[in-house]
Amino acid sequence: MGPTDGEARPGRYDYCPWEFWSRSDEEERAAQLAHQAALVRRFEADGGTAEFGDRVFVSPWAGVHTDSLRLGDRSYIGAHAVVTDEVVMGRNCTLNPFSTARGKVMMGDGVRVGAHTSLLGFNHGFAPAEPVHRQPLVSKGIVLGDDVWIGSHAVVVDGVTIGDHCVVGAGAVVTKDLPAWSVAAGSPARRLRDRRDTAPAGPGAPSASGSPAGGLDTRLERFARRAREQAGEVLERCRADGSWADRPGAAPTVRAVCDAVEIADLLLGGPPPGEDRDAMVERLRSLQDPETGLVPEFGRPAPSLDDHVAMYHVLCAGYALELLGSHFAHPVRAVTELPAERLVERLDGLPWRTEAWRSGNWVDGVATALHFASPTASPQTEALFGWLLTRADPRHGLWGAPDAKEGWRQPVNGFYRTSRGSFAQFGLPVPYPERTVDTVLTHSLDPAWFGPDRGTACDVLDVIHPLWLCARSTGHRAGEGRDWARGQLERVLTRWQDGAGFSFALEPGERPDRLAGLQGTEMWLAVTWLLADHLGAGEALGYRPRGVHRPEPARTGLG
């Protein structure tokens, strides 16, 4: 079996240790137990500890030199594995041949570590003041949850926690935490999907997550195909008097025109069927007030910065023009010619504590106008970001505060609108991502706004976009956010109305927000992408928002 019984090289059980307790004879078992006893004596003599559960196997050809080692029942270490420092393995764990576990490594139950894999629970610095070999060692440790499979030739670096039920592909380099149920691969490792999103075992069988039959990718592909096939019909029902209305019988609006452009671009890759691209461009450009640069509603007088509808039109009209290959005819002078000190006064005067959504809407319009105006930094952009960075509350990451009537709804809504136009659009990290995640997740559990059949397009967007955005810079509570996204996605995928699209509220009824229209369709298509992408499945939809809800920054930084 190994050097303890006189063999010159490792035997079958050293390379296939899972076979030992089912195929070994009494002499081989006695030799293995004697080897374990010898390890315990050696560790104790060196001031360390070793504990072995029932039916454990440790190859005598493994380099086991730990300060403390604990193996739970039915765990094993294969030949040529290197195990040092502090290693704890739960029940039914494996370190296969040629694997490495060094530093502080903690495994739950049922962990499988493939051959030639390295769990490196230590690190050292590389500051230029000292040679590398003199740098101090540090060890945050590695934690592997229950039911984890690490493929061969993978590397897990110090400080990483891999949640329960994860699968890490062969050759991956895991540098960041992975939430429970992740399937990850690559270098650096990227979460690809949720392990529960697998195809059913047979026709009509439920998926592993208990969702309707079909893996998530398959269901997303099916949904997107259905939406594309019906896009022309969904749009045509909202054509009104040479323009566009949100739904049949409603008055034409600027937003409806822009929503039609967004939906057509997303699902059909061009302008709405029956529309001439150049004519749409000229019409949208002509809506802009040349003095202020703002876009009023049809039939309304010239707007000001206090007109919240016109402030939203900066976004929807500006991005609709981009999707059509054009841009505003004039700069938004109401913003670009506003002195920086006056901008700060306006920011201070916004009703953040009582109407955070409207405050965020104003910031979104201002930031987008500044983005459209110039590719370089301006006094206004510097003043805006300076104000936002210094006014964000470090206790909860948002601007504004909760109230007794709506809880966190207004601040979370305001955070989405504020961060969309500023930090997300300019490619900058939000100030307090972990605290933001905490607050947004608290709000996501409020039954007044969310539940089995509750959550409007705005309310769901106001949660998923901050979670999605913060996940770009932190893995804080990522599993909880993905679980919430999964629940919302299950609801959305069943609420498409054939030939009509989505209603804003998704709930049945005759109220305007429960009738399918362009706004609900445009928003839920984008929300569906965000929910799916947060679960690692966005590509299955075959579309990617390019307008108001584009995931990529419209620019990078303030310069």
pLDDT at 198: 53
Q: Are 501 and 519 in contact (CB under 8 A)?
A: no
The distance of Cα 339 from the centroid of its chain, to the nearest Å, equals 37
Instruction: Please report, in angstroms and rounded to a whole number, the separation of the first and last CA atoms in the chain.
Output: 66
Residuewise pLDDT in 10s, the chain (559 residues)? 445 444 567 888 999 998 898 888 999 999 999 999 999 999 999 999 999 999 999 999 999 999 999 999 999 999 999 999 999 999 999 999 999 999 999 999 999 999 999 999 988 777 777 888 777 777 899 999 999 999 999 999 999 999 999 999 999 999 999 999 899 999 899 888 888 875 443 333 333 334 444 578 889 999 999 999 999 999 999 999 889 999 999 999 999 999 999 999 999 999 999 999 999 999 999 999 999 999 999 999 889 999 999 999 999 999 999 999 999 999 999 999 999 999 999 999 999 999 999 999 999 999 999 999 977 779 999 999 999 999 999 999 999 999 999 999 999 999 999 999 999 999 999 999 999 999 999 999 999 999 878 899 999 999 999 999 999 888 899 889 988 999 999 999 999 999 999 999 998 888 999 999 999 999 999 999 999 999 888 888 999 999 999 998 987 777 6
Distances (CA, A) of 324 to 10, 151, 261, 315, 356: 69, 46, 8, 14, 32
Instruction: Read off the amino acid at residue 66.
Output: T
Show the DSSP H helices in 237-339 as ranges. Answer: 254-268, 277-286, 308-323, 333-336
H or E element in which residue 368 lies: helix 356-373
Phi/psi region, residue 209 (left: phi>0; alpha: psi -120 to 50; beta: rest), is alpha
H or E element in which residue 163 lies: none
pLDDT at 81: 96
pLDDT at 5: 47
pTM score above 0.75: no
pLDDT at 183: 92
pLDDT at 201: 38
pLDDT at 199: 42
Q: Are 535 and 485 in contact (CB under 8 A)?
A: yes
Q: Are 436 and 466 in contact (CB under 8 A)?
A: yes
**Tokens for 404?**
């007794």
